Amino acid sequence: MSFDIPLANPDLKGNEAKYALEAIQSGWIGTGPFIKQFEKEFSRLSGARAAIACANGTVALHLALRAMDLGPGDEVIVPSFTYVATANAVRLCGAEPVFVDVEPATWCIDPLQVEQAITPRTKGILPVDLFGHPADLDAINRLAAIYGLWVVEDAAEAALARYKGKPVGGLAQVTTFSFHITKVFTSGEGGAVTMNDEKIEAFIRMIYSHGMDPQRRFFFPVSGYNYRLTNVAAGLLCAQIERHEQFLQRRADIFRRYQELLQGTPGIGIRPVAPWATLSPWLFSITVDPKKFGHTREQLMDRLAQHKIESRPFFIPVHGLPPFRESSQQRNTQCPVTDRLCSAGVNLPTYTTMTDDQVARVAGVIKGMVR
């Protein structure tokens, strides 16, 4: 089905075409100067010592977990309310994700449940900045220090979010980002890893390029991967970063407009935001209470689709998905907040070129369904 108002739509009206053509005409379509330019600028904006551009957000997670020496027999504590890539990256290392619930006030991992899930096999904590909202990093880092664990932050949906006034990217040992087509900044696919530790940076730079020693060509001291980003894609990201303030401002305006229009609608809940958090305005999120709204989440999405408006349900709780169900049942994993949110949530269209009239049209369809 084609939509008049899609869920996401990349804004490529800046220097994207210019930089992509420049990369092509120079012949530097694989490695090239745009990669270093993007890494320098993104590390600065993320408050981190260094950034490494890579092929997508999933491989960014894999690189980060490899840098933490995660392996078979290890456990990592992960929120069940996340995209499956978070848990898949743990499995790629031969380790096991241990799922816990999220906090109702943030929709991010619950530090109290993290502490209860720690075992002798636990090696680290993998908080997720869900839908652009930072997890409570102070509480998580405090637990990690007490129990001798590391923290890798999955900020795939949270580029340029802020936690207590500080940019996301330099607050955990390693942070990972995605630049998928739906994200605030995009190169179609793409990702980044940020960190403050020089040794971690050196290790990731080695394994993301086949494991080759940077000082000795074609000598491979470790097994690695080909997880590099292309210079063409990096050129797109450089052009996107040039307009990052414009992007964030327009998306924040769309969020405010949605909130003004939908606030007080019976049965429609709006995503909570902690007072210490500044969202990365990715997708505007609502929940549906069928008893108060008079319709189910699915009926709402069907009605939007009838009006040529695309929407998306929240993720299915990962602890209940087939690859993870058996181990979660053996642990008696209980995530009632996640179960409730995931059965009720809808992401609404959000993109930089979306007009105020389009936002009003989406909200109008929703409000028009109230009985």
**Are 172 and 196 in contact, with CB atoms under 8 Å apart?**
no
Give the pLDDT of residue 34.
Answer: 98
Q: Scanning the structure block, which residue is given the tokens 């939509």?
A: 3
Give the pLDDT of residue 191.
Answer: 98
Return per-residue pLDDT of the chain as tens, 371 residues.
789 999 999 999 999 999 999 999 999 999 999 999 999 999 999 999 999 999 999 999 999 999 999 999 999 999 999 999 999 999 999 999 999 999 999 999 999 999 999 999 999 999 999 999 999 999 999 999 999 999 999 999 999 999 999 999 999 999 999 999 999 999 999 999 999 999 999 999 999 999 999 888 899 999 999 999 999 999 999 999 999 999 999 999 999 999 999 999 999 999 999 999 999 999 999 999 999 999 999 999 999 999 999 999 999 999 999 999 999 999 999 999 999 999 999 999 999 999 999 999 999 999 999 97
Give the pLDDT of residue 214.
Answer: 84
> What is the Cα 18 distance to its own chain's centre?
28
Q: 164 catalytic, yes or no?
A: no
| Residue of 36, 164, 183, 291 marked catalytic | 183
Sheet holding 284-288, edge to edge: 268-270, 284-288, 345-348, 312-313
> Which residues have C-beta within 8 Å of that of residue 191, sequence separation ≥ 6?
53, 54, 55, 56, 57, 58, 59, 60, 156, 176, 177, 178, 179, 229
- For 82, other C-beta atoms within 10 Å of its C-beta total 26
> What is the Cα 123 distance to its own chain's centre?
22
Domain boundaries, the chain: 16-242, 244-367
Would you tell me which CATH number, out of the four given (3.90.1150.10, 3.20.20.70, 3.40.50.300, 1.10.620.20), belongs to the domain 244-367? Answer: 3.90.1150.10
Give the pLDDT of residue 252.
Answer: 97
Would you tell me which CATH number, out of the four given (3.40.640.10, 3.30.70.60, 3.50.50.60, 3.20.20.190), belongs to the domain 16-242? Answer: 3.40.640.10
